[in-house]
Amino acid sequence: MFKEVGKNIQRVDGYSLVKGNPVFTDDIDLKDMLFIKFLRSPHPHAVIKSIDTREAEKMAGVALVLTHQNTPRVPHTTAGQGYPEPSPYDSVMFPRKMRFVGDRVACVAAESPEIALDAVKKIDVEYKILSPVFNPEDALKDGAPIIHDEKDSSGILDPKHNLVGEVEVNVGNLDAGFGEADVVLENRYEAHYAQHTPIEPHIVITYLDENGRLVIRTSTQVPFHVRRICANVLGISIRKIRVIKPRIGGAFGTKQEVYLEYIAAYVTLQTERPAKFELTRSEEFTSRTRHPIITVLKVGARKDGTLTAIDMRILSNTGAYGSHATTVMYNTGSKVLPLYRCPNVRFEGKVVYTNLPVAGAYRGYGATQGYFATESMLDEIAEKIGMAPVDLRRKIHIKEGETSPIFDALGEGKKGIPQVISSSKLPLCIEEGFKLIKWKKKPKEEGKMKRGYGCAIMMQGSGIPAVDMGAATIKMNEDGSFNLLVGATDLGTGSDTILAQIAAETLKVPTERIIVYSSDTDFTPFDVGAYASSTTYISGGAVLKTARKVLEEIILIGEKMLNESKENLKVENGKVVSKKTNSSVTYREIACNALYETNQHQIIASMSHISHKSPPPFAAHFVEILINRGTGKIKVEKYVACVDCGTAINPKLAEGQVEGSIINGISYALTEEFIFNKNGKMRNASFRDYKIFTAMDIPEMKVVLIPSHEPSGPFGAKSVGEVCINGPCPAIANAIYDAVGVRIRKTPFTPERVLKAMGEIEHLKDIHKMENY
Amino acid sequence: MQIEVKINGVLKKLETSPGERLLDLLRRKGYKSVKRGCEEGECGACSIILEGKLVKSCLIFAPQVSGHSIITLEGLSPKGELHPIQQAFLEEGAVQCGFCTPGMILATKVLLDKNPHPSEKEIKEAISGNLCRCTGYVKIVKAIKRVGETLNKNV
């Protein structure tokens, strides 16, 4: 039995957070701070013919104006990924060509934000306007405006057709598969733009330390990638940069981007003054977004539900820059298709530029868009063959001990790695969820309200296999406590706490004896950062190894102090105990012995961890909704999620991940939508007009963690952060069909879209002229 | 200009200007629990209590609170001992990133001060002006329910 793992230990940072202590990026005061504001492009596609900053520079209180004319032009990707990044090098600090409304023209650093804003207005820019392209299908056509025609970009597959990347994989024999099918269906599904909306927008503060080294204090998921990318863009050595990630106010993928840090850093290097760069809420909306993806899905099945062929073709829209473009595209196949037992599969993906806001990493990372298509389609197949949706789900999913050829064929931006599912309790998740939702066949409702039920199954991964690496250092103090230093990045998930629990369990001490310090490139070992559902599994693996090594050292000293051999010793409650005599030495005595008495040395270890597999967490979701036929409004009444994340290191924190991702997912499915004007400008960039769920909107939630044991994970753990955002879109689409018999294949399911689908209203005058690219 | 305002029970004389928002003044004076999330009154991260009411400090000019009494989260546990609401948030897992937490806790305080026996619906209404993107509100509602129950026992 575990003593620390599997327990609802309170967050190690909880006390400071509930007190509102100054622990976030912006909560420090530095003297002589400069404030930075952007001038952004009013045009979706244009070239700067001339730019005159003299009036701005003359203003009292303006320290510096930066444009493409006085900053280094170093092509890079803003995607905070491992090196070399699989995203194209298509960005520079300040481009001469504008590629979406909001692209960065210039910035002003001034004594106050107000002065900076006033000065921005005084910059005179003359643009040569170019034709934009917004529709991703049009962007691929011959003769479409070419968005990236610059010569120094690299990693773009076919710039002339705005094609960032493509992939095609075939396993089995697709034609034969469709030949064997009793039913073949083909449909088109569209998943829309969305923004993460962390309550803390992007913010960075830069300054020079007492030795003149650059310190970047930033709200990021990827401190080590920030250091590397900034060094490259600024043309300075990595050794001259220290990146600190304090507590951060939510991220969900949008802070896996590096694009404000080097600008603030450049201001600091030029002026030798601290600089702060914070996005406004409206800027945050078009900082980074979810890739809108069109999926054309063709599935063949036998009458008994056996899937014989899946042909999935996707077109992903990365907007103006290709951040995470190819990797998200790969993931739409690689994190979705292996869930289904099917011998004949084809996946084809294309990702294109358009003159719309830049997409990036968003919780779910392509899988969310993919599951909307596959899990909607499964219900359509189920109806054709006369099978209950839940029965079809019971039949078609991958099981423990099985593999999928897709694991090998598709990775993240490249070929994958074969793997066998070594832990899955998905069958139990489906049974338990089905029981809890109390699915009623043909529910009868009076009047306008119609009730419907829907379900979906899903998986994700745990880290990127053979890519993601985490490291940990543990050192022992003379009171028998331990400093745990990790590069891993707690973005509010509670990973500092979970990693402390893993260390405590291994070292056989209470978690309170572990002092965690994370995400500081000067003091903590490397970690790729918090993304791809990697922290518990990968960084946790590093902590486990490190703690084991420290424990070996402790036992070695215990041997000498007790004059016993290892075989006769056990470790319990912070003591090394002789099994023979029951005499013992405490950790405190061992640490003091090592530090002050015998063979003096610091008890310390550092270990790194990667994994050659990425064990998927699984989940089954069930939803009950009520639709008002008069207004088209959907009310989610009840949502049940049964989740296999292996061992939940901290069940309460794991539940929190599930609940948070589901509400984010329901909000995405029902109310969140980017509305553009004819110029490609987002018209609703505020919380007033872009509706995210409040406490009033949430349904009754039932979350059940169904433990499995993942042999490759720390204490049997897998990931839990992303998987559940994949469920709400398809589960609700399926429930809509169950309630009113219409199939909506385009998200979000807003009242007008529901009414339109039901034929209750005429084709709405397209108020969202350019919705949903 | 100078204003006199009682912050967390202590009368303060503070320099400000007619155009300064209360949010900026408070943060400038070190009340960092007051968070900047949208600056347009929509997210609730900058919530404070003004004369017993929950208000968004980004929508108030600093001079408007002259002669009034306000409470920020710093005022809830002045001696370091956690307020029962803070304790419940901590124990129920109602905190993830913690950025919305100060506003949420103050919204809870305003609710419970007026209504020590809130229903689930009343709880959800009371925090509906405070956005959280991490928790899905489930554990926040649970924590508030629990405080309500504990307070009732103590009464």
Percentage of chain A modeled with pLDDT above 90: 96
Q: What is the pTM of this model?
A: 0.97
Q: How many angstroms separate the Cα of A537 from the Cα of each of A4, A34, A97, A367, A609?
A: 17, 40, 42, 19, 10
Average pLDDT, chain A: 96
pLDDT (mean) for B65-85: 94
In this structure, the strands spanning B47-50 and B69-71 are antiparallel
What is the amino acid identity at position A37? K
How would residue A769 be classed by pLDDT, with cut points 50, 70 and 90? Answer: very low
Whether A17 and chain B come into contact, CB under 8 Å, resolves to yes
Query: In A, residues 475-494, which contact B (CB 8 Å cutoff)?
Result: 491-494
For B38, which of A281, A694, A698 is closest by C-beta distance? A281
pLDDT in tens, A169-215: 999 999 999 999 999 999 999 999 999 999 999 999 999 999 999 99
As a whole number of angstroms, the distance between CA A427 and CA A421 comes to 13
Nearest-by-CA chain A residue for B72:
A20
Give Rg (Cα) of chain A: 27
Mapped to the 3 state alphabet, what secondary structure does A692-731 carry?
CCCHHHCCEEEEEECCCCCCCCHHHECCCCCHHHHCHHHH
How far the first Cα of chain B sits from its last, in Å, is: 45
Which of A10, A659, A686 is nearest residue B135 as measured by Cβ atoms?
A659
Report pLDDT for A1: 86
Closest CA to A693 of A287, A201, A199, A362: A199
Tens digit of each residue's pLDDT (9 = 90 or more) over B15-53: 999 999 999 999 999 999 999 999 999 999 999 999 999
Listed in sequence order, the residues at least 6 apart from A437 whose beta carbon sits closer than 8 Å to its beta carbon are: A453, A455, A622, A623, A624, A638, A640
CA distance A278 to A64: 17
Query: Could you tell me the CA-to-CA distances from A178 to A70, A184, A403 in Å, in that order?
Result: 59, 7, 22
Residue A236 pLDDT greater than 60, yes or no: yes
Flag whether residue B8 sits within 8 Å of chain A, measured between CB atoms.
no
Q: What per-residue confidence (pLDDT) applies to A733? A: 98
Backbone angles phi, psi at A757, to 5 degrees: -65, -35
Q: Which residue matches tokens 């108030």?
A: B60
Question: Which amino acid is located at A564 in the chain?
Answer: E
Q: Kindly state the DSSP code that residue A647 receives in the 8-state scheme.
A: S
Compute chain B's Rg from CA coordinates: 15
The residues with which A128 forms a beta bridge, in sequence order, are A47
Q: Which two tokens stand for residue A54?
A: 């003299």
Give the pLDDT confidence score for residue A127 in this predicted structure.
98
A384/A538 Cα distance (integer angstroms)? 43
pLDDT class of B155 with cuts at 50, 70, 90? very low
Q: Residue with structure tokens 């987002």? A: A682
| DSSP-based three-state secondary structure for A433 | helix
Q: Which residue of A has its CA nearest to B77?
A: A19
For chain B positions 85-114, those within 8 Å of chain A (CB to CB) are 86-87, 89-93, 95-102, 105
Which run of H or E residues covers position A556?
helix A540-562
Q: A686 — contact with chain B (CB < 8 Å)? A: yes
- Token pair, residue A639, equals 């949502």
Q: Which amino acid is present at A43?
A: H
Name the percent of chain B lying above pLDDT 70: 97
Instruction: Give the span between the Cα atoms of A599 and A45, in whole angstroms.
Output: 69
- Chain A residues whose CB is inside 8 A of the B119 CB are none
- State chain B's maximal CA–CA distance in angstroms: 47
Q: Report the pLDDT value the prediction gives residue A412, as an integer from 0 to 100.
A: 86
Give the rounded distance of the alpha carbon of A759 from its chain centre. Answer: 37
Using DSSP, state whether A263 is helix, strand or coil: helix
Query: Nearest C-alpha of chain B: how many angstroms from A330?
Result: 27
A389-398 mean pLDDT: 98
For residue B57, pLDDT beyond 60? yes
Three-state secondary structure call for residue A163: strand
Rounded to the nearest angstrom, the minimum Cα separation between B70 and chain A is 16
Residue B154's pLDDT band (cuts 50, 70, 90)? low
Q: How far apart are the first and last CA of chain A?
A: 52
Q: Give the count of alpha carbons within 13 A of A151, CB side only.
A: 0
CB contact under 8 Å between A698 and B136, yes or no, is: yes
How far apart CA A297 and CA A274 sit, in angstroms, is: 52
Report, as an integer, the average pLDDT of A665-690. Answer: 97
Separation of alpha carbons B133 and B99, rounded Å: 10
Q: Which of A280, A656, A696 sits opposite B96 (nearest CB)?
A: A656
pLDDT of residue B79: 83
Average pLDDT, chain B: 95
Contact between B131 and B100 (Cβ < 8 Å): yes
Q: Which of residues 22-51 of B touch A (CB under 8 A)?
A: 27, 30, 32-33, 35-40, 42-43, 45
Domains of chain B listed by start with CATH number:
2-75 (3.10.20.30), 84-154 (1.10.150.120)
Looking at beta carbons, which residues of chain A come within 8 Å of B132?
199, 695
Q: Is residue A246 a contact partner of residue A281, using CB atoms and an 8 Å limit?
A: no
Q: Where do the domains of chain A lie, and which CATH numbers do they carry?
A: 14-21+468-609 (3.30.365.10), 31-130+202-278 (3.90.1170.50), 293-464+613-758 (3.30.365.10)
The answer on pLDDT for B149 being more than 90 is: no
Q: What is the pLDDT of residues A541-586, one digit of tens each?
A: 999 999 999 999 999 999 999 999 999 999 999 999 999 999 999 9
Cα A120 to Cα A113: distance, rounded to the nearest angstrom: 10
Give B68: exposed, middle or buried? Use CB within 10 Å, 0-12, 13-18, 19+: middle
Instruction: Tell whether A708 lies on the interface with B, counting CB pairs under 8 A.
Output: no
Structure tokens at A730: 């398809």
Contacts of A495 (CB under 8 A, 6+ apart): A488, A489, A518, A530, A535, A536, A539
Mutate to test the interface with A, among B48, B133, B137 (most CBs of A within 10 A): B133
